[in-house]
């Protein structure tokens, strides 16, 4: 077939995509894809920095240095080039600019180019645009989760809705593998992928909470503990429970209203005064000793000595199910199964390489994102091969 390429559809039909005939396969399209991708990468840095701080991505309109707060003119805000030229420093105050700014711009450019290569160049420009939307959101979510251990869930809901709408017109992305399709329409497969992604991972979250939702500490001799306020200069800081010198952030303990921190001991010191009692229950917003209750926001200090502590914890964050649901909305339910398995392998390898011990937090969002990209950029062929083996053996 010369330069033609054949992709097999979900119903066994062949999609022939002659690269030399279709207008969007012309080399010219690489210019706007790469250029716009780099510029969007620069904007993504703004989103990644501001969203976790609760700031608007539109105000102030210009980027600024977090150190000296001075606005950066467009002549010193050129994607990729500026960071290299200034050697990772602010031109005004000399503050170090994290290398993350450069890598986000480079990664966005490369993934936009990969999306166009794998889909636009193969006769699916609409699917390429959907893939570009997906990789853009995955970059934002991955870097925010890696830095702050949070996933902006509102972004996943909106993007999932766009994926379902896009599948109405451009269904071949969600039907990429052609194996395991349940619904005859692209939007039906997108909805199924969304539901499967959310439901499967939500069951994992619930199961993990039941199995690993509590951590018990016991001490032969009483040890000191306290509630510690975040440092004033740290805008991302959280209230911490400090036990025998080890700090546990509030957000890592209290995900649900039912979560509680139980302390057995004595010498409970509240706002400088001793409160009698042998057991204390701390919730996300209140403290209980016996029949008495105090609101944490009204307290100045709280400390004591403990012989036993039971603290709540999560096996997985609540933002991961919506993220996998978003991946499923773009790529279908087979991608959900593949991504869940593949991301677990990626996380296991990373924990071994980084020597992250059991019980230590490890953001799972970047691994889900990497697994979804693996599927879209060729990993779906592994699914086709594996399903072929299963179907061949059962025939």
The DSSP line for 177-225 is S-SS--SSSHHHHHHHHHHHHHHHHHHHHHHHHHHHSEEEEEEEEEEEE
pLDDT of amino acid 236: 54
pLDDT of amino acid 237: 63
Helix (H, G, I), strand (E, B) or coil at 26: coil
Q: Is the pLDDT of residue 231 over 60?
A: yes
Radius of gyration of the chain (CA): 25
Compute the C-alpha angle 334/330/326, nearest 5°: 95
pLDDT of amino acid 267: 78
Write out the two tokens for 218: 């016991």
Q: Is the pLDDT of residue 175 over 50?
A: yes
Q: What is the pLDDT confidence band of residue 359, given thresholds at 50, 70 and 90?
A: low
Share of the chain above pLDDT 70, in %: 86
Q: Is the pLDDT of residue 367 over 50?
A: yes
pLDDT of amino acid 280: 92
pLDDT, tens digit, 9 for 90 and up, residues 33-83: 999 999 999 999 999 999 988 888 888 877 877 777 788 777 777 888 888
Helix (H, G, I), strand (E, B) or coil at 64: strand
pLDDT of amino acid 23: 67
Higher pLDDT, 393 or 188: 188
This prediction has a pTM of 0.78
pLDDT, tens digit, 9 for 90 and up, residues 127-151: 999 999 999 999 999 999 998 888 9
Chain center to CA of 290? 40
Torsional class of 355: left (φ above 0), alpha (ψ -120 to 50), beta (otherwise): left
Mean pLDDT in residue range 151-164: 95
Contacting residues for 72 by C-beta, under 8 A, at least 6 apart: 62, 63, 64, 65
- Check if the beta carbon of residue 112 is closer than 8 Å to that of residue 79: no
Write out the two tokens for 205: 């979250």
Q: What is the Cβ-side half-sphere exposure of residue 367, based on CA atoms within 13 angstroms?
A: 20
* φ, ψ at 300 (rounded to 5°): -95, -40
Q: Is the pLDDT of residue 9 over 60?
A: no
Q: Is the pLDDT of residue 211 over 80?
A: no
**What is the Cα–Cα distance from 204 to 363, expressed in whole angstroms?**
15
**Highest mean pLDDT: which of 164-168, 246-250, 264-268?**
164-168
pLDDT of amino acid 2: 39
pLDDT, tens digit, 9 for 90 and up, residues 260-313: 999 998 779 999 899 988 899 999 899 999 889 999 988 999 999 999 999 887
Average pLDDT value over all residues in the chain: 84
Torsional class of 312: left (φ above 0), alpha (ψ -120 to 50), beta (otherwise): beta
Mean pLDDT in residue range 87-104: 85
Write out the two tokens for 222: 């009483």
Q: What is the pLDDT confidence band of residue 17, given thresholds at 50, 70 and 90?
A: very low
pLDDT of amino acid 177: 83
Mean pLDDT in residue range 387-393: 73
pLDDT of amino acid 14: 47
Mean pLDDT in residue range 334-361: 83
């Amino acid at each position: 077939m010369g330069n033609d390429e054949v992709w097999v559809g979900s119903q066994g039909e062949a999609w022939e995509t002659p690269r030399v005939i279709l207008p969007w396969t012309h080399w010219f399209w690489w210019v706007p894809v790469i250029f716009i991708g780099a510029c969007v990468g620069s904007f993504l840095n703004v989103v990644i920095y501001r969203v976790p701080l609760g700031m608007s991505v539109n105000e102030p309109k210009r980027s600024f240095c977090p150190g000296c707060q001075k606005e950066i003119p467009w002549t010193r805000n050129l994607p990729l080039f500026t960071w290299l030229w200034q050697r990772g420093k602010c031109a005004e105050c000399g503050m170090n600019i994290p290398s993350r700014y450069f890598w986000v711009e480079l990664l966005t450019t490369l993934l936009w180019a990969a999306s166009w290569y794998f889909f636009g160049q193969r006769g699916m420009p609409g699917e390429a645009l959907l893939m570009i939307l997906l990789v853009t959101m995955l970059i934002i979510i991955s870097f925010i989760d890696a830095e702050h251990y949070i996933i902006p869930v509102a972004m996943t809901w909106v993007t999932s809705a766009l994926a379902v709408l896009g599948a109405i017109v451009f269904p071949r992305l969600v039907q990429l593998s052609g194996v395991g399709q349940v619904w005859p329409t692209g939007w039906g497969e997108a909805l199924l992928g969304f539901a499967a992604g959310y439901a499967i991972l939500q069951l994992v979250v619930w199961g993990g909470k039941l199995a690993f939702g509590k951590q018990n500490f016991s001490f032969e001799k009483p040890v000191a503990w306290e509630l510690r306020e975040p440092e004033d200069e740290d805008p991302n800081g959280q209230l911490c429970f400090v036990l025998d010198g080890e700090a546990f952030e509030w957000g890592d303990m209290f995900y649900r209203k039912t979560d509680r921190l139980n302390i057995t001991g004595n010498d409970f010191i509240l706002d400088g005064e001793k409160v009698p009692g042998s057991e204390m229950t701390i919730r996300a917003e209140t403290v209980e000793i016996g029949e008495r209750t105090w609101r944490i926001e009204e307290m100045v200090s709280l400390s004591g000595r403990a012989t036993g502590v039971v603290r709540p914890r999560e096996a997985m964050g609540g933002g991961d199910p919506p993220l996998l649901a978003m991946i499923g909305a773009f790529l279908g339910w087979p991608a959900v199964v593949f991504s869940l398995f593949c991301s677990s392998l990626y996380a296991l390898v990373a924990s071994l390489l980084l020597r992250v011990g059991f019980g230590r937090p490890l953001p799972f969002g970047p691994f889900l994102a990497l697994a979804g990209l693996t599927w879209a950029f060729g990993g779906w062929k592994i699914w086709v091969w594996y399903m072929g083996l299963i179907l061949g053996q059962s025939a």
